[in-house]
Amino acid sequence: MTRLRVHPESHLVSRIGWLRAAVLGANDGIVSTASLIVGVAAAAAPPNDVLIAGIAGLVAGAMSMAAGEYVSVSSQSDTEQADLARERKELGDNPEFELDELAAIYVRRGLDQTLARKVAEQLMKNDALAAHARDELGISEITTARPVQAALTSAAAFAVGAAMPLLMVVMSPSNMLVLIVSAASLGFLALLGALGARAGGANVPRATARVTFWGALAMALTAGIGALFGTVV
């Protein structure tokens, strides 16, 4: 508990991976589903059709988020694995060179020659690959890419985000639908921005303003398109 208070920042960075995926997923779910609903409703579609469009948007969006995250995080993971494999081979082929290389890294970070060499020797004796992965390649437990975790997190977050405007469709009278869904969705976005910023230790008002602005823009655009095509068709 005391340690937590002395170094709060050391615990926040470990959340970055899933926090980023969760906030992005929920944000996407709210913005795209609310925009879809507002667009379809603005075209004067009956509420039942609006609801079906929204549900289809939820399913499609969650699947697409999962696939997108999986592919992008997998390629990051492949790169890391390839780097580690190369490093493992170099450590086997040329351990002396690798020791010099690691010691040189510590010298650049401010240790003197003798100490740097000693640190490099001891770390390599303990786990040579881990030492090189962390200090030469910048790969650690915290930063390691996890494709399945990222895919599931963003799909679930998207579904939760998308469920919010859908719930509003069920609860609003049809003549107020566009207004209630847009206003409530902007409220959800602001809340999400604030929660995400708090959890990540970032600036709360700035993060809130950022997500709300993009959400409002997306809904205004689709509402405009819906109204345009609704009257034309």
Query: Which residues sit at the interface with Zn ion, rule CB under 5 A?
Result: 98, 132, 136
Phi, psi angle pair for 110, to nearest 5°: 120, 0
Could you tell me the two tokens for 62?
A: 């969650």
d(CA 72, CA 107): 35
Contact 193, 212 (CB under 8 A): yes
Min. distance of Cβ 140 from Zn ion in angstroms?
Answer: 15
Nearer to Zn ion, 123 or 223 (CB): 123
Min. distance of Cβ 113 from Zn ion in angstroms?
Answer: 18
d(CA 39, CA 42): 5
Min. distance of Cβ 92 from Zn ion in angstroms?
Answer: 11
Q: DSSP E strands: which ranges in 152-216?
A: none
Nearer to Zn ion, 28 or 98 (CB): 98
Minimal CB distance to Zn ion: which residue?
132
Nearer to Zn ion, 42 or 91 (CB): 91
Residue type (1 letter), 173: P
Min. distance of Cβ 87 from Zn ion in angstroms?
Answer: 5
DSSP state string for 95-126: HHHHHHHHHHHHHHTT--HHHHHHHHHHHHHH
Nearer to Zn ion, 69 or 98 (CB): 98
Min. distance of Cβ 94 from Zn ion in angstroms?
Answer: 9
Min. distance of Cβ 81 from Zn ion in angstroms?
Answer: 16
What is the sign of the dihedral through the CA atoms of 44, 48, 50 and 52?
negative
Nearer to Zn ion, 55 or 129 (CB): 129
SS3 40: helix
Min. distance of Cβ 98 from Zn ion in angstroms?
Answer: 5
Nearer to Zn ion, 88 or 210 (CB): 88
Contact 23, 196 (CB under 8 A): yes
Q: At what angle do helices 16-42 and 177-200 cross, to 10 degrees?
A: 170
Nearer to Zn ion, 138 or 187 (CB): 138
Tokens 């799909």 correspond to what residue? 155
